[in-house]
Amino acid sequence: MVGGPVPARPMPLAEHLERHGGLLLQGFGGEGAPMMLIDAVERAGLTGHGGAGFPTARKMRAVAGRRRPVVVVNAAEGEPASHKDALLMRIRPHLVLDGAVLAADAVGAREVIVALHGGPSSAHAAVAERAAAGLDPVSIKVVQVPKEYVASEESALVRFLSGAPALPTFTPPRPYERGVNGRSTLVQNAETLAHVALIARYGDQWFRSVGTPEAPGSLLVTVAGAVHQPGVYELAFGTPLKTAFETAGGFTEPVQAVLVGGYFGAWLPAETALGLPLTPADLKAAGAAIGAGVLLALPASACGLAESQRVATWLANQSAGQCGPCTLGLPAIADDLAVLNRGGKTTNVRHRLDRRLSLVEGRGACHHPDGTARFVASALQTFAQDLARHQRGNPCPPARHPMLPLPDDAGGS
């Protein structure tokens, strides 16, 4: 998809067309043909790259044939540790837009909305370039979404695109049933749509030529933390995590743990993580998930508890303030983690925190509290020895350089 070293500039339309050819549209005007792409996506075994890993063809089928559907490209990338969608939109905007137009073709939509953060970008320029070339039989517009973490959750996104605040709603109805302005809406992550474009062009067998039979294809991974060359890398599913870090130049110092999936993911001890292949099933068995495709190596010199507490505080501040267990529970969880991090006799706080973690799960309109609870629970497990040391009154000194990125370095203790 990215193909070798990451180029510094966006690929212009002419070069993109020369490399990948024009769009192979099937649906507009063609009886029954749209399902061909959905079938190919199904045979390819493509799953979503926005976090949940839902089968893409199943979502497309749920939208196909409904009245006046809409396609939304989720390129907002609310996860602070992930940079893959921003990179893709910057260097390969036409691949994502091809995927969106092809998906629109397949489900019978005439409208594509690209949702992203920030002002004028390569995405805006790419949309203008295509309009000038008269390339697409659909309207494409770019919409800037609020920067809050939950604003790019799909129900918040369709609500915002319908003119309301970007707050998640209870589901059902899901966006495919009732989305933008009440119309059936296919929300797909930007990277997912780039894969759709490649499957349409090169076929499902080509897609399956890398990866494993159960986890076919490739994915974009943001490799970060204690590595020599942090960045976004395209890796085949099934690649050992150890190889992923080697691809990023190897470790700069001994590593104690790996954050897998981002802040919606989980910490794993380094010895566990490095032995795993990058597949949803292997990561799930170890208690993690690919999530937004983040692999962050935490050096032995950093304090996992302090790092997790900063992020937990930020995540608590990201609650949309609509659901009691999330609005009240997440700050209480972050506060408990702060007390544990400060150290001293905190056995009762530890018990209270375990109880609080179990109380918030599954209790919000969106999965924000579940993700936060999973992240914190994995920190308590992975950094159990650090926690014991903090409890003995021997906490780590404050970090000079925090390892986990946060927007504007928010979320302090």
Ligand X SMILES: Cc1cc2nc3c(=O)[nH]c(=O)nc-3n(C[C@H](O)[C@H](O)[C@H](O)COP(=O)(O)O)c2cc1C
Shortest Å distance, C-beta 368 to ligand SF4: 4
Decide: is 80 part of the binding site for ligand X (CB under 6 A).
no
Residue 106: both structure tokens together: 């397949």
Shortest Å distance, C-beta 169 to ligand SF4: 8
Of the candidates 74, 121, 212, 222, which one interacts with ligand X according to CB under 6 A? 74
Residue 90: both structure tokens together: 């910057």
Region from 46-54, 90-98, 158-166, 202-210 binding ligand X, contact rule CB under 6 A: 46-54
Nearer to ligand X, 77 or 282 (CB): 77
Percent helix, strand and coil across the chain, each to the nearest 5: 45, 15, 40
Shortest Å distance, C-beta 327 to ligand SF4: 5
Nearer to ligand SF4, 45 or 369 (CB): 369
Number of residues that bind ligand X (CB under 6 A): 23
Shortest Å distance, C-beta 322 to ligand SF4: 4
Positions in 253-312 near ligand X (CB under 6 A): none
Of the candidates 50, 211, 238, 261, which one interacts with ligand X according to CB under 6 A? 50
Of the candidates 11, 73, 366, 380, which one interacts with ligand SF4 according to CB under 6 A? 366
Decide: is 320 part of the binding site for ligand SF4 (CB under 6 A).
yes
Contacts of residue 56, Cβ cutoff 8 Å, sequence gap at least 6: 41, 46, 47, 48, 188, 192, 195, 196
Residue 165: both structure tokens together: 């605040």
Distance separating alpha carbons of residues 375 and 159, to the nearest angstrom: 27
Stated as kind and residue range, the H or E segment containing 223 is strand 218-225
Residue 203: both structure tokens together: 């076929």
Residues facing residue 142 across a β-bridge: 114
x/- track of binding to ligand X for residues 350-379 (CB under 6 A):
----------------xxx-----------
Nearer to ligand X, 309 or 372 (CB): 372
- Classified as helix, coil or strand, 268 is strand
Please compute, for residue 40, the number of CA atoms within 13 A of its CA located in the half-sphere on the CB side. Answer: 21
391, burial (CB in 10 Å: exposed 0-12, middle 13-18, buried 19+): middle
Bridge pairing between strands 294-299 and 266-269: unpaired
Q: Cβ(156)–Cβ(320) under 8 Å?
A: yes
x/- track of binding to ligand SF4 for residues 130-169 (CB under 6 A):
--------------------x-----------------x-
> Which stretches of the chain bind ligand X, using CB under 6 A?
48-52, 54, 74, 76-79, 149-150, 152-154, 187-189, 192, 366-368
> Which stretches of the chain bind ligand SF4, using CB under 6 A?
150, 168, 319-323, 326-327, 364-366, 368-369
